[in-house]
Structure 1
Amino acid sequence: MLPRRSLRLRKLIVCPFRHSLTLPSHPFYGTIQTVKILAVSDEVVERLYNLCANGQFNDIETILGCGDLPYPYLENLVSLLNVPLFYVPGNHDPDYHTDDPLTHAEGGSNLDLKLTRHRKFLIGGFGGCIRYRPDGTNQYTQTEAYLRAFRLLPHLALNRLKYGRALDVLITHSPPFGIHDEESQAHRGLKAINWLLRVAKPRYHFHGHTHFQRRNLSPSETTLGVTRIVNVFPYKIIEVNH
């Protein structure tokens, strides 16, 4: 009869991925890393130019754009702060074409339906909103949004196998369905985003699109499970931890 240590070794050899499948969603390795981000959406705030130029945002390390902003605005922020920009398009942004410079922000990364790793943070993006006009740009029915979200599954699964978690930060234009959204068709949330939050379990979800928080009718932050959901309109300064 083999000793216990040998039996355990045999099990690991037979099923080498057995223990990797039980990793916690957000394991910590070493010291906690903090990154201060500037998240923006939907409205140009020219005062930010002065704040950046005066050095008050010198500790900002990343810009996240949640849609419906003129790309020159995002480009100016990148030039002033000299930090990476990750963004998704909103329903008032043009269709993205790689050969058309007017359809993307120079110096930034369009993360619509993409994942990236930045300073050990896993960031993913999902652009657009609910369809409220038949010919609307970056607008989707609930079913169309689900089909788009499913395209992220292979990348999320690969992240979980490689890093022990699927996602740290999700940026979207639309809010989730029933969270920070409105009853009007144009500002109803996407159910596909709720699904992404359940599957990927990011620590942070930043979105735009709904502006009613300006009237103090609803809080701009909500916690759902392990996820802190933030409506960043028109901008927020947030520290994210990993």
Structure 2
Amino acid sequence: MKVLAISDQIIDRLYSTSVRETYPDVSLVLSCGDLPYEYLEFLVSIYNVPLLYVPGNHDPDYTLNDSRARAHGCENIDGRSLFMKKLFFAGLGGSIEYQPGTPNQYTQLGMYLRVYRMLPSLIWKKIRSGQRLDVLLTHSPPYGIHDDDDPAHEGLRAINLLMRVMRPRHLLHGHTIFYRQNLQDHVTNSNGTKIINIYPFRVMNLE
């Protein structure tokens, strides 16, 4: 299955009515956050395929009754999991807290608590289906992998815990920008999980 994964930066050739000719046969769009919801809505309308997303640290706080706080026609999987197109997905949005009180920013402890709330459902779905978690969609990278040493881009340790417990086949994230992309690898394998920094976008096959 061909997937378009996006994060953090609008790309003009994607925000175009010819995107289906430029990148054909896309079956699913995944967003790792910090993108205008109009951009997500444009892509889901052009491709007419499902779009799953998690919020980034610059996205608004999700409010059920506020239409500006969600991308219409898209599925917010922050703190949730689901099966789609025979694949098992889970999502965890947000980043490390560097501006207290800002939506979608969490302390390390705060994110651990979010993960602990997710785990019972994730483990039950894994047991019931007999299927390994295929894709963990996050905004932030794990701690020590693709993160940075500045306060805003430190990785989240709770993601490392989630990786150890659920052993996802793929972890897709954004948030950190590889300015020297020719010198740094955007793909890292760790304990059976392929961790991919998809900033600003990647077209890939998921099976």
What's the TM-score, normalizing by structure 2? 0.96
Q: 1 CA distance for matches of 2:167 and 2:100?
A: 32
1:67 aligned residue: 33
1:135-174 paired onto structure 2 within 5 Å: 135-174=101-140
1:227 aligned residue: 193
Matched residue type, 1:207: H
2:70 aligned residue: 104
1:188-211 residue CA offsets vs partner (Å, 9 max, x unmatched): 000000011111111110000001
* 2:80 paired with 1:114: yes
| Partner residue of 1:209 out of 175, 179, 184 | 175
| Secondary structure class of the residue paired with 1:68 | coil
- Given that 2:144 and 2:155 are in contact with CA atoms closer than 8 Å, whether structure 1 keeps it comes out as yes
Q: 2 CA distance for matches of 1:142 and 1:172?
A: 15
- Where structure 1 has 5 or more consecutive residues not aligned to the other structure, the ranges are 1-34
Matched residue type, 2:113: L
Tell me the C-alpha RMSD between the 2 structures. 1.4
Determine which structure has the larger helix proportion and give its number.
1
Q: 1 CA distance for matches of 2:53 and 2:199?
A: 14
1:100/1:182 CA distance change after superposition, 3 Å: same
How many correspondences in the alignment?
Answer: 207
Q: 1:214: how far off?
A: 4.8
1:110-146 residue CA offsets vs partner (Å, 9 max, x unmatched): 0000001001100000000000111222001101000
| Partner residue of 2:23 out of 53, 57, 64 | 57
Q: 1 CA distance for matches of 2:3 and 2:22?
A: 13
- Where structure 2 has 5 or more consecutive residues not aligned to the other structure, the ranges are none
1:5 aligned residue: none
| Partner residue of 1:189 out of 136, 141, 155 | 155
| Partner residue of 2:3 out of 28, 33, 37 | 37
Matched residue type, 1:58: P
1:17-46 residue CA offsets vs partner (Å, 9 max, x unmatched): xxxxxxxxxxxxxxxxxx110000000001
Give percent identity, aligned residues only.
48
| Partner residue of 1:129 out of 75, 95, 100 | 95
Matched residue type, 2:119: L
Q: 1:212: how far off?
A: 2.3
Q: 2 CA distance for matches of 1:51 and 1:224?
A: 38
| Secondary structure class of the residue paired with 1:64 | strand
| Secondary structure class of the residue paired with 1:144 | helix
* Structure with max Cα Rg: 1
Q: 1:225: how far off?
A: 1.3
Q: 1 CA distance for matches of 2:171 and 2:60?
A: 23
